[in-house]
Amino acid sequence: MRKYPLEKYRNIGIIAHIDAGKTTVSERILFYTGTSYKIGEVHEGAAVMDWMEQERERGITITAAATTCFWAPSYIEEGEENKHRINLIDTPGHIDFTVEVKRSLRILDGAVVVFDGVAGVEPQSETNWRYADDYKVPRICFINKIDRIGASFEKSFKSIIERLTPNAVAIQLPIGNESEFEGVIDLIKMKAFRFEGEHGEKIVSYDIPEKLMEQAIQMRSILVEKVVENDEELLNDYLTMIEEQSAAEGQSKKKEIGEDDLKRVLRKATLNNNLVPVLCGSALKNKGVQLILDAVIDYLPSPVDLPPVKGINLKNESEVERRPEDGEPFSALAFKIAADPFVGSLTYFRVYSGVLKRGSYILNAVKENQERAGRILRMHANEREEVEEVYTGDICALVGLKDTTTGDTLCDVENPIILEKIVFPEPVISQRISPKTKADQEKMGLALRRLMEEDPTFRVSGDLETGDTIISGMGELHLDVLVERMRREFVVDANVGRPQVAYKETIQETSKAEGKYIRQSGGRGQYGHVWLKVVPLESGKGFIFIDAIKGGVIPKEFISAVEKGVKESMSKGMVAGYPLIDMEVTLYDGSFHDVDSSEIAFKIAASIALQEAVKNAKPVILEPIMKLQVIIPSDFLGDVAGNLSSRRGRIDSISDRDNIKVIDSMVPLSEMFGYATHLRSMTQGRGVFTMEFSNYERVPKNVESAIIEGKK
């Protein structure tokens, strides 16, 4: 039996720019909810959520660990019946780990976005905010570090309104600032709160200080106005109230919209992404974190607030829905595979419908094979609990699944469904990697394979056995981290080459070609014969194979061999040997021989035809283009912009923010190696940038020549 009703579940993530305080906030949450008994300081490397050694060293969170904790809102009795189950899904802040953010956004229902109260909105917060928009994730904001010198709630709040959403609405105000920061005013209750005790665990409510009263009244009326707009009845009440008040000016005591109404409608508006409540505090100084938890419960969705998940019924390819109910057939999404030192591999999954019992069989609908749910674990920050049964809304981990990768749907064997996949970007950077010793060589293949299973944006190509191997990923740091993990977790030492841009090739015109592989002199012969047509596709469309054979001129059993041959030759393009993308290949004619035809003969014929067709279709090299945002003090604008142009950058816009300039541009990745160092020296260390993959574009002729000659 389920212990916590589904309405009392919150599956949430904490999203933040690196250093905004996500780890500290998560850790305080685990402390106040009683999951962790110790408050570790991040800089001492004791934070519970950052459980990977390497994350501690780098001070960044790489892995999205899911942790369960419980909270009864601080404003009601702490009874078992008031407790909510909060599954906290950790997300990384660094841009090279965008994939982790994306995959966690796919499975969480709501998010707390943490900001640094000095810096306000930072570039990465913008990127992650847009992703959260894509997934329609309801959010609340927490402006952290109000205790820091230079912190400003007003400025940070304004930056949220201006740069992220006009729907942000303050539901709190800080009392004091910087070292004087003492607590927060709750604008809904119109009460002040202080946090006493060694770790701020005691919440003390008091009257709003006189000097802040006026500001609080003003902010509350903005809040009320924004909220009532979302409910017709409340809006009418409000308008009537205003009329009555102005008629009876100064005579009667002012009426107010009640706390319950405000909360109810604010919840509704937050769930619909029409409003984003904004809170503030200092996680480090233990001020305001419990009120984040209250707000998570008050304003973020439970699984029942969400529409049913959609998927494809494997039996008849029709679209089907699963309601978030235990009575529905089981469906879940595997969102993370993690190598685990104790139990091998852990598959984190989120249950969208139904119930899963330990020991039962489930279907991996994507791989179309069955797996046994041998052991199910619920992850707490510092312990794992074996569970017999998991229910709709749960986030748990399965031990030892054999053939499940990130993004696969797990479901009831009798009711196969494929939930919408998580789409991951293609890697843009690669490095040659070779084992240091013979012993390393044996282990390297296994290690790389494991890491690839975990991380869908990490690819390995080349020959794993001989050790002549290329690894590819989303950025320099991404690959660094993986090589480092290989060393630590799998004890494999390797030499890595210079990072190289993952160029691709494509065609610009349509063309047709014939491929023949015929050997018929004595003994059993070979006979394969095809005609292929190649057509360029729009950027990002990938590869499409069309079988247009009529009248059995090539028998069915050889068609897949043709497709295989095509795919194999597409892995090496005609211009400089980079993989071909964005093209459609149609097999439309050919012939066969009753005795001599074989799969291998058709495969070879297909590859001959493909190479010929591509040669005649004006092939070109493509390069990854990155979206770059650079933030610098105004004085350095000329130098930095000039330097971007010399890196073949195209500046889209330059905007002002206080005393700084924000340059948005598109730049080829190949020109960006070492940019961090260069920017630092150009700006006396004051410039910062973020960069993410945007699209592939054709390289200019002179660069193409350099690439072909191996100079780039």
Q: Which of 148, 220, 267, 712 binds ligand GDP (CB under 6 A)?
A: 148
In terms of Cα–Cα distance, which of 135, 128, 131, 98 is closest to 114? 128
Structure tokens at 584: 């459609």
Supply the minimum distance, in Å, between the C-beta of residue 113 and ligand GDP. Answer: 11
CA-to-CA dists, residue 69 to 61, 79, 155, 332, 378, angstroms = 19, 15, 33, 21, 11
Given the rule CB under 6 A, which of 282-290, 332-340, 495-503, 619-627 is the region that contacts ligand GDP?
Answer: 282-290
Supply the minimum distance, in Å, between the C-beta of residue 403 and ligand GDP. Answer: 34
Q: Which of 119, 140, 283, 418 binds ligand GDP (CB under 6 A)?
A: 283
Supply the minimum distance, in Å, between the C-beta of residue 250 and ligand GDP. Answer: 43
Supply the minimum distance, in Å, between the C-beta of residue 167 and ligand GDP. Answer: 24
Q: Which of 8, 10, 22, 103 binds ligand GDP (CB under 6 A)?
A: 22
Given the rule CB under 6 A, which of 145-153, 426-434, 465-473, 596-604 is the region that contacts ligand GDP?
Answer: 145-153
Given the rule CB under 6 A, which of 22-30, 155-163, 523-531, 594-602 is the region that contacts ligand GDP?
Answer: 22-30
**Whether the Cβ atoms of residue 516 and residue 608 lie closer than 8 Å to each other:** yes
Supply the minimum distance, in Å, between the C-beta of residue 48 and ligand GDP. Answer: 12
Q: Which of 2, 4, 19, 512 binds ligand GDP (CB under 6 A)?
A: 19
| 21 lines the binding site for ligand GDP (CB under 6 A) | yes
Q: Which of 90, 96, 147, 582 binds ligand GDP (CB under 6 A)?
A: 147
- Alpha-helix runs per DSSP H in 229-288: 232-247, 259-271
Cα–Cα distance for residue pair 279/274, rounded to 1 Å: 17
Nearer to ligand GDP, 200 or 619 (CB): 200
Given the rule CB under 6 A, which of 141-149, 418-426, 496-504, 690-698 is the region that contacts ligand GDP?
Answer: 141-149
Compose the 285-304 pattern: x for residues touching ligand GDP by CB under 6 A, - for all others: x-------------------
Give φ, ψ of 476 to 5 degrees: -60, -45
| 569 lines the binding site for ligand GDP (CB under 6 A) | no
Supply the minimum distance, in Å, between the C-beta of residue 114 and ligand GDP. Answer: 7
Given the rule CB under 6 A, which of 16-24, 334-342, 541-549, 596-604 is the region that contacts ligand GDP?
Answer: 16-24
**Whether the Cβ atoms of residue 434 and residue 367 lie closer than 8 Å to each other:** no
Supply the minimum distance, in Å, between the C-beta of residue 287 and ligand GDP. Answer: 8
Query: CB-based contacts of 574: which residues, under 8 Å, 6+ apart?
Result: 505, 611, 614, 615, 619
**Reduced DSSP (H G I as helix, E B as strand, rest coil) percent helix, strand, coil of the chain, to 5:** 30, 30, 35
Supply the minimum distance, in Å, between the C-beta of residue 38 and ligand GDP. Answer: 15
Q: Are strands 526-536 and 494-496 parallel, antiparallel or unpaired?
A: unpaired
Supply the minimum distance, in Å, between the C-beta of residue 220 and ligand GDP. Answer: 25
Nearer to ligand GDP, 93 or 311 (CB): 93
Q: Which of 11, 12, 13, 24 binds ligand GDP (CB under 6 A)?
A: 24
Residue count at the site for ligand GDP (CB under 6 A)? 20
**Whether the Cβ atoms of residue 124 and residue 101 lie closer than 8 Å to each other:** no
**Whether the Cβ atoms of residue 599 and residue 526 lie closer than 8 Å to each other:** no
Given the rule CB under 6 A, which of 12-20, 122-130, 641-649, 698-706 is the region that contacts ligand GDP?
Answer: 12-20
Given the rule CB under 6 A, which of 18-26, 336-344, 431-439, 518-526 is the region that contacts ligand GDP?
Answer: 18-26
Given the rule CB under 6 A, which of 21-29, 435-443, 585-593, 622-630 is the region that contacts ligand GDP?
Answer: 21-29
Token pair 């996500």 is found at 22
Nearer to ligand GDP, 21 or 407 (CB): 21
Beta bridge partners of 527: 518
Nearer to ligand GDP, 60 or 605 (CB): 60
Nearer to ligand GDP, 41 or 214 (CB): 41
Supply the minimum distance, in Å, between the C-beta of residue 175 and ligand GDP. Answer: 15
Nearer to ligand GDP, 16 or 293 (CB): 16
In terms of Cα–Cα distance, which of 235, 234, 227, 160 is closest to 188? 227
CB atoms within 10 A of CB 668: 19
Nearer to ligand GDP, 153 or 238 (CB): 153
Query: CB-based contacts of 529: which residues, under 8 Å, 6+ apart?
Result: 514, 515, 516, 517, 518, 590, 591, 592, 605
Q: Which of 282, 392, 586, 665 binds ligand GDP (CB under 6 A)?
A: 282
**Amino acid occupying residue 584:** E
Supply the minimum distance, in Å, between the C-beta of residue 118 and ligand GDP. Answer: 9
**Whether the Cβ atoms of residue 473 and residue 427 lie closer than 8 Å to each other:** yes
Q: Which of 9, 12, 23, 275 binds ligand GDP (CB under 6 A)?
A: 23
Nearer to ligand GDP, 19 or 305 (CB): 19
Q: Which of 212, 284, 304, 641 binds ligand GDP (CB under 6 A)?
A: 284
| 44 lines the binding site for ligand GDP (CB under 6 A) | no
End-to-end CA distance of the chain: 62
Q: Which of 63, 125, 127, 144 binds ligand GDP (CB under 6 A)?
A: 144
| 145 lines the binding site for ligand GDP (CB under 6 A) | yes
Rg (CA), the chain: 29
User: For the packed helices 556-570 and 599-615, what is the interaxial angle rounded to 10 degrees?
Assistant: 50
Supply the minimum distance, in Å, between the C-beta of residue 212 and ligand GDP. Answer: 20
Cα–Cα distance for residue pair 525/519, rounded to 1 Å: 5
Q: What SS3 class is residue 448?
A: helix
Nearer to ligand GDP, 67 or 302 (CB): 67
Cα–Cα distance for residue pair 332/328, rounded to 1 Å: 12
| 18 lines the binding site for ligand GDP (CB under 6 A) | yes
| 42 lines the binding site for ligand GDP (CB under 6 A) | yes
Nearer to ligand GDP, 50 or 563 (CB): 50
Q: What SS3 class is residue 632?
A: strand
Hey, which bits of 149-209 come out as E strands? 168-170, 172-175, 183-186, 191-196, 202-206
Nearer to ligand GDP, 150 or 344 (CB): 150
Query: CB-based contacts of 486: which residues, under 8 Å, 6+ apart?
Result: 444, 447, 448, 451, 492, 494
Q: Are strands 620-633 and 660-668 parallel, antiparallel or unpaired?
A: antiparallel
| 68 lines the binding site for ligand GDP (CB under 6 A) | no
Applying the rule CB under 6 A, the residues between 203 and 232 that interact with ligand GDP are none
Cα–Cα distance for residue pair 296/587, rounded to 1 Å: 55
Query: CB-based contacts of 55: which residues, under 8 Å, 6+ apart?
Result: 61, 62, 63
Applying the rule CB under 6 A, the residues between 70 and 129 that interact with ligand GDP are 93
**What's the 3-state SS for 476-519?**
HHHHHHHHHHHHHHCCCCEEECCCEECCEEECCCCEEEEEEEEE
| 387 lines the binding site for ligand GDP (CB under 6 A) | no
Supply the minimum distance, in Å, between the C-beta of residue 12 and ligand GDP. Answer: 16
**Whether the Cβ atoms of residue 528 and residue 604 lie closer than 8 Å to each other:** yes
Nearer to ligand GDP, 21 or 573 (CB): 21
Contacts 24+ apart (CB under 8 A), 464-468: 467/434, 467/435, 467/441, 468/432, 468/434
Compose the 229-248 pattern: x for residues touching ligand GDP by CB under 6 A, - for all others: --------------------
| Residues lying near ligand GDP in the complex (CB under 6 A) | 16, 18-24, 42-43, 61, 93, 144-145, 147-148, 282-285
